[in-house]
Amino acid sequence: MSKEAKEIAEKLKNSHKIAITSHIRPDGDSIGSGLALYLMLKKMGKEVRYINKDIPQPPLTLFPHFEVIEYGDIYPQEFDVVVLIECSTEERSGQKNLNKYFRILIDHHLSNEEQVELNWVNPKESAVAIMIYELSKYLNVEIDKEIATLLYSGIVSDTGGFRFTNVNAKAFRVSSELIEKGANPIEVNRLLFENYTPQKVKLISKVLSTLETFFDDKAAFITMYKSFLDDLKLTDVETEDIVTIVRSIRKVKIVAFLKENDDGTFRVSLRSRDNVDSSKIAEKFGGGGHMHASGFYSQKKASEIKEILLKEFKEINL
């Protein structure tokens, strides 16, 4: 049981106008958790709004009550408290001037250094959804089928369906309780993982066709050129599933996924396994992230980026 959760619950109980926000380029855990907290606070009779900067990609748009999310700036509107979900820093929310408010920060990422009024960070948790579930007990809110579904979706998203290295016994324990409270694992799996359009499957095929492997298949590159999206009339799409396929190559230790932006620059995502720390490489190029998931931006051409990365991979002796 957590002292911070108790303090946060007390503060929320004593507040009336509450804003929730979560990070830019939203994922299933942040949106599921944000919506779940929104519904909990509504049940408590609070005046609550969930305000983000970025619109999520499908299938997150199919989450229950997705339509309540607003897009824009929290400041200078009036709130008693602002809850930041999964934002290791205020900047991660894309919002400005949040220091004008009483801030509550709830996160499960290590890099949390923000000085806020109430800070609750637990990097041991598989998903921030698990923390929101814990918070619900201190808020004395009954978890209904929709809240259970949203929180369970957050856990399933962040653990890649209980497959990633962040999964632990507590994730299963909380999931089991959420299923008892009405979350349907078949429906959630279907929503999150079996919701492709034919265009998306074609995109996966195009991107995978760029696969190159080096160092006895321990390093892999894939590239998504802007033309792939244009040809299929797709705009920005979720691509984590594509890189997960490549990371599942038997011997692979590190994958670099080069995504071309509209202006011809690249966003490079690095995904690694085992003892390979991808964030150290990303940091060398002005980026950052976690050990197994990091990234950076580059103005260079794809071929040049690959060349530079190959040198880095060679140095770490995969």
- In the complex, minimum distance from the CB of residue 291 to Mn ion, in angstroms, rounded to a whole number: 15
- In the complex, minimum distance from the CB of residue 92 to Mn ion, in angstroms, rounded to a whole number: 12
Stretch that binds Mn ion, among 38-46, 121-129, 136-144, 248-256 (CB under 5 A): 121-129
> 267 pairs with which residues across the strands?
259, 297
Half-sphere exposure of 63 (CA within 13 A, CB side): 33
Compare residues 4 and 29 and give the one whose CB is closer to Mn ion: 29
DSSP label at residue 57: P
Interaction between residue 125 and Mn ion (CB under 5 A): no
Contacts of 70 (CB under 8 A, 6+ apart): 49, 50, 51, 52
Compare residues 126 and 298 and give the one whose CB is closer to Mn ion: 126
Interaction between residue 29 and Mn ion (CB under 5 A): yes
- In the complex, minimum distance from the CB of residue 311 to Mn ion, in angstroms, rounded to a whole number: 32
Rule CB under 5 A: which of 269-308 touch Mn ion? none
Stretch that binds Mn ion, among 13-21, 24-32, 137-145, 208-216 (CB under 5 A): 24-32
Task: Give the count of residues interacting with Mn ion (CB under 5 A).
Answer: 4
Can you tell me which residue has the tokens 């948790």?
125
> 223 pairs with which residues across the strands?
258
Stretch that binds Mn ion, among 28-36, 88-96, 226-234, 247-255 (CB under 5 A): 28-36
Residues 149-168: x where in contact with Mn ion by CB under 5 A, - otherwise, as a string: ---------x----------
Contact 155, 187 (CB under 8 A): no
- In the complex, minimum distance from the CB of residue 158 to Mn ion, in angstroms, rounded to a whole number: 4
CA distance 295 to 124: 22
Can you tell me which residue has the tokens 């900067």?
53
Stretch that binds Mn ion, among 26-34, 99-107, 164-172, 287-295 (CB under 5 A): 26-34
- In the complex, minimum distance from the CB of residue 4 to Mn ion, in angstroms, rounded to a whole number: 17
Closest-approach residue to Mn ion (CB): 29
What is the separation of C-alpha 213 from the centre of its chain, rounded to a whole number of angstroms? 27
> 75 pairs with which residues across the strands?
none
Stretch that binds Mn ion, among 48-56, 117-125, 126-134, 192-200 (CB under 5 A): 126-134
CA distance 128 to 297: 27
**What is the helix (H) or strand (E) element at residue 174, kind and residue range?**
helix 169-180
Contacts of 42 (CB under 8 A, 6+ apart): 48
Interaction between residue 107 and Mn ion (CB under 5 A): no
Cβ of 79: how many Cβ atoms within 10 Å? 22
Compare residues 128 and 219 and give the one whose CB is closer to Mn ion: 128
Rule CB under 5 A: which of 33-52 touch Mn ion? none
Compare residues 108 and 273 and give the one whose CB is closer to Mn ion: 108
Compare residues 110 and 201 and give the one whose CB is closer to Mn ion: 110
- In the complex, minimum distance from the CB of residue 108 to Mn ion, in angstroms, rounded to a whole number: 6
- Give the DSSP per-residue string, 184-232: -HHHHHHHHHS---HHHHHHHHHHHTT-EEETTTTEEEEEE-HHHHHHT
For binding to Mn ion (CB under 5 A), which residues are involved? 29, 127-128, 158
